[in-house]
Amino acid sequence: MFPFKSKLVAYGTAASVVFGIASYKLLETDGAVRDQKNEVLTKVLVQGLSSAHYSPERLDDNFSKKAFNLYLERLDYNKKFLLQSDVDQLMAYQTQLDDEFKSGSFKFFDLSMSIFQKRLKEAEGYTKEILEKPFSFEQEETIEVKPEKLKFATSPAALKEEWRKYLKYQALIRVADALDSQEKADTAGTKEVKKSMVEIEADARKKLKENYVDLFKRMGQLENEDYRSSYLNSFANIYDPHTEYYAPKEKEDFDFEFSGRLEGIGATLTEKDGNIKVSDITPGSPSYLQGELKPGDAILKVAQGTQEPVDIQGMRLDKAVSLIRGKKGTEVRLTVKKVDGSMKVISIIRDVVVREEGYARSLLIKGQKPIGYIHLPAFYADFKNAGGRNSGKDVAEEVEKLKRENAQGIILDLRNNGGGSLQDVVDMVGLFIKSGPVVQVKSANGPAAVLEDRDSQIHFSGPLVVLVNENSASASEIMAAAIQDYKRGVIVGSSTYGKGTVQQFFDLDQVLPASFDAVKPLGHLKLTTQKYYRVSGKTVQLRGVTPDIVLPDTYTYLKYGEKEQEYALPFDEIQPAKFNTWNSPNFSIEKLKASSKARIAASPTFSLINDSALRLKERTETSTRSLKLSSYLAEERRAQTESKKLETLRKNIPQLDLSTLKTDLAKLAGDTAASARFQAFTRNAKKDLYIQEAVSILRDGL
């Protein structure tokens, strides 16, 4: 961190000599007034990105083209505002953005905002006019739903037609939902007033009108400064998707989310391409326990209980978060677009997250040879040394508890574990090996630093299975990779996320001298400064960890993970560390793989999961949707039928014979609330198909 800070301080001192801080404004050569704060900000960003990023970009015309395309994509992701003629006008700057970025000029940005604000007013007029007339859902008509396949309209008339289809599609979804609700009410025998198709369609348009009046009102209140961070991140994200600039207010929101995310629904949200997306689910939170909201989901609407949903597309992240947060015990209904393109309404009761549910917990799977199960939702740590808990110590304690109850093998569940403390990974791997390197961490310059387990004691030497999935990321991947490289255990599940980079936050105010106080606060820069490497020398970047035994998963065939991010850093290799593989293997992986494959082939549930995954892939690759009501309903009902089949099969899965550890029974005896939560955890584990297969794999090897 120090070299970066010293470089920026040196730059800041030089800048103060060149610019002088007495004035708040500077004059460009053509006489136009430029805001000095923004000029200083961009130059500090350029210096920071160029000097401290793991893989600095060359600021040239090629870089400029990338930034231009990324900004345009984010400014009008669904291509519903700009015309092709607007894009042609902006294209004059396509190879000049690198020069503007280096000089601190915002000519292109100001021009783009001027055009965008004009088109925003026109789009508002289109929506009002279109929503005055009823939609007919009788004729066969389709809409393209993948933004990357859309083109900018060549005329106002063509753009208006795109809006007509877009609004009709949204109305169609509402009409279909209303018909579905009426059908369910009829089946349940509830006495509700049945509406005609004309009334249902009118209701749908009325609600859309209200949503769009609110949407355009919010967008009209935004100023250029609200878009500036997105513009600057069009440069930062060319370096890699995790390098970002945070304006002062955005950093406050980020800090609040990070420290205060244990309240509300327990989901960390990000804004990308005009959509509010779920980036992480807090272990033990209402979202985590409810189970339907997943990373990658886009939240389109938010409703308070039974109230009318509010459309949050295009809304600022802080405003959207304020709608989703709420008092404990209240209901929030989220309309989300899943990664496969399907729509779902998810009801979550807000609550305060119970911290214990975010910590390591274990169970004993009964049998002639008992097996221990440890669930680890995150690699948590007390970084401030304030007497808090660390995942490495907690897992060590769970291992000892399982040993006392004669566990012959252990399943370590890292599914949906997004990572955390690297030191705790080192400590945890050390529980299962004698000693040796666990992970290599490399900065842009110099050799890799090897983090080692120096404790020669092996806490558990029996068979080990590590469960992973596509949401196992970062520290989870390092843990699984180390166990795999040492041949210490069997990795089971689906390929992991593939994030092998390390980020740091830098306060831009701290790297500038006091002479720049007049233009502060400037915000923060989150920079990718290092990469992780396995002890074998390979990075987990992009490729993740491929399990030794792969199990069918809903996301198996979907494009998912770091490799799907624009401008992700590449996969590469360095020299392997010196280490000795496990010298007393417990079983033959090839035999275990063959036995597992036979079980999977004979399992109707796994077969249906695989079929569902194939259908999701097909649906994702199909980029058009029908605007004919009968066709739309037929497709939705087919999907619902298949989903119900899978739910029914899951309900009928034979249960594992699990028991709570004696130590935990004593702790839970006096706490009825904690006991109830632990019972829920046990119930879920009993019918978890993937835990069951992990148990079968271990028993094959015992």
What is the pLDDT, as a whole number, of residue 249?
Answer: 66
What is the pLDDT, as a whole number, of residue 252?
Answer: 52
Question: Tokens 């730059």 appear where?
Answer: 11
Task: Please check whether residue 197 is in contact with residue 633, taking contact to mean a CB–CB distance below 8 angstroms.
Answer: no
448-500 pLDDT, tens per residue? 999 999 999 999 999 999 999 999 999 999 999 999 999 999 999 999 999 99
What is the pLDDT, as a whole number, of residue 583?
Answer: 83
- Residue 629 clears pLDDT 60, i.e. is over it: yes
Candidate list 98, 340, 413, 485, residue with the active-site label? 485
- Residue 12 clears pLDDT 80, i.e. is over it: no
CATH, domain range 262-352: 2.30.42.10
What is the pLDDT, as a whole number, of residue 226?
Answer: 80
pTM of the model: 0.84
Candidate list 168, 401, 499, 538, residue with the active-site label? 499
Task: Please check whether residue 657 is in contact with residue 367, taking contact to mean a CB–CB distance below 8 angstroms.
Answer: yes
SS3 527: strand
d(CA 317, CA 274): 10
Question: Tokens 């430029």 appear where?
Answer: 34
Q: What is the average per-residue pLDDT within 327-354?
A: 83
What is the pLDDT, as a whole number, of residue 385?
Answer: 67
Candidate list 112, 391, 474, 612, residue with the active-site label? 474
Phi/psi of residue 525, nearest 5 degrees: -120, 120
Q: How many CB atoms lie within 10 A of CB 504?
A: 13
Judged by phi (left if over 0) then psi (alpha if -120 to 50, else beta), residue 448 lies in: beta
Phi/psi of residue 498, nearest 5 degrees: 95, 35
- Residue 256 clears pLDDT 60, i.e. is over it: no
What is the pLDDT, as a whole number, of residue 585?
Answer: 63
CA distances from 66 to 63, 70, 90, 273 (A): 5, 6, 14, 16
Q: What is the average per-residue pLDDT within 613-640?
A: 89
210-225 pLDDT, tens per residue? 889 988 988 887 777 7
d(CA 672, CA 667): 11
Dihedral Cα 78, 79, 81, 82, nearest 10 deg: 150
Q: What is the average per-residue pLDDT within 359-370?
A: 95
Of residues 151 and 646, more confidence is placed in 151
What is the pLDDT, as a whole number, of residue 166?
Answer: 95
40-79 pLDDT, tens per residue? 999 999 999 999 999 999 999 999 999 999 999 999 999 9
At 251, the pLDDT band (50, 70, 90 cuts) reads: low
DSSP letter string over 212-224?
Answer: HHHHHHHHHH--H
Active site residue 612: no
Active site residue 229: no
Q: How many CB atoms lie within 10 A of CB 160?
A: 17
- Residue 341 clears pLDDT 90, i.e. is over it: no
Determine the residue type at 499: K
Active site residue 136: no
Helices (H), 91-155: 97-103, 107-130
Q: How many CB atoms lie within 10 A of CB 288?
A: 19
Residue extent(s) of CATH 2.30.42.10 domains in the chain: 262-352
At 639, the pLDDT band (50, 70, 90 cuts) reads: confident
Task: Please check whether residue 474 is in contact with residue 449, taking contact to mean a CB–CB distance below 8 angstroms.
Answer: no
